[in-house]
Amino acid sequence: MNLPPLGLDVAKLKFNACLMRAVGKLRHKVFPNNPDGFTRLCDWLKKQGVTRVQACMEATGTYGDSLAAYLHEQDHLVSIVNPAAIKAYAQSHLSRTKTDRVDAALIAGFCVERKPPAWHPPAREVQELQALVRRLESLVEMRTAEENRLSSGISVGAVRESVEELIVHLSEQIKRTGARIREHIDNHPDVKRQRELLDSIPGIGETTAAALLAEVPDFSQYKSARQVAAYAGLVPRERQSGSSVRGRTRLSKIGNARLRRALYFPAITALRCSPFFQAWAEGLRQRGKCKMSVIAAAMRKLIHLAYGVLKTGKPFDPEWGKIA
């Protein structure tokens, strides 16, 4: 069933809507990014003679989350796509203008040509877990910034005292938020079982397991571990052409940056402490891989193992892991 495409360019305070009708006619409208604006959008669609659309928007932070959830509740088909895909689509059409109105039209055109898959909101417990995990990440970043400020040297006593008090407060908030995350997972048996499976993998502890479950709410929606790695931006990107271009292979980094951050230190820990990872990494070094390439490969290996244990429902086993 081909639904009329609705391109949505979402900002903090407003969003631009572009409805594409038959024979390429476009209808534009701007709405406030709040519940009243969502209702006005649906009323506007009805005035256009449309009862159901495929609404497409970029995955840009949290500004579009409420709108996406509302449209899904109203039985519209919602697609949330990687902004890099929209950018590449615009470049392929030689688009030289960038405004909210133009971006909404580009998103609608992308929806027609590429037919992105439908988005489904995660379960309520997963949404809460994601909010708690992201809050914990923000608190840790704030404390690190204050600790760096303190270590750089503060000559004014009152300022130094203020920074020290804030660090203590942030540390307490981090402790309380971590406890809330553990309590939340313990209260949901399915999520708790998934955490235990992930915790069996070398390098992955409770914090990393919670981050994985928050950022990849449903591993089963992916057909392979490589797809999950691609979602995290952990697949290699080669740069070779003809006889003159021989660039270094690097991570694509087109994907969820939070996942990459969550896996960096666990990968280092696994390489340092796990005999399985040490033996596996030695083979990479013998093939000439540098230190950072080995760490990147270990991050990707962790994603593959996480997919494996959750897919099979069995904890990590070194012998099984060698062929994962």
SS3 153: coil
Give the C-alpha separation, 65 to 61, whole Å.
Answer: 8
Give the C-alpha separation, 227 to 5, whole Å.
Answer: 26
Q: pLDDT tens, 26-78?
A: 999 999 999 999 999 999 999 999 999 999 999 877 889 999 999 999 999 99
Give percent of the chain with pLDDT exceeding 90.
Answer: 73
Phi and psi at residue 204, to the nearest 5°: -100, 120
What's the pLDDT score for residue 247? 53
Q: Is the pLDDT of residue 244 over 60?
A: no
5-114: which CATH architecture?
2-Layer Sandwich (3.30)
Tokens of 197: 């499976």
What's the pLDDT score for residue 290? 87
Q: Is the pTM of this model over 0.85?
A: no
Tokens of 55: 């609404």
Phi and psi at residue 80, to the nearest 5°: -120, 120
CA dihedral in degrees (188, 190, 191, 194; nearest 10)? 150
> HSE on the CB side for 182, CA within 13 Å?
9
What's the pLDDT score for residue 240? 55
Roughly how many angstroms between the first and final C-alpha of the chain, as a whole number? 39
Which segment of 84-93, 111-120, 161-170, 312-321 scores lowest on mean pLDDT?
Answer: 312-321
Tokens of 150: 């303190």
Task: Please report the DSSP string for 90-106 in residue order.
Answer: HHHTT-----HHHHHHH
Q: Domain boundaries in the chain? A: 5-114, 124-187, 212-321
For the segment 207-229, the average pLDDT, to the nearest whole number, is 91
Tokens of 248: 């270094």
Tokens of 89: 């689509």
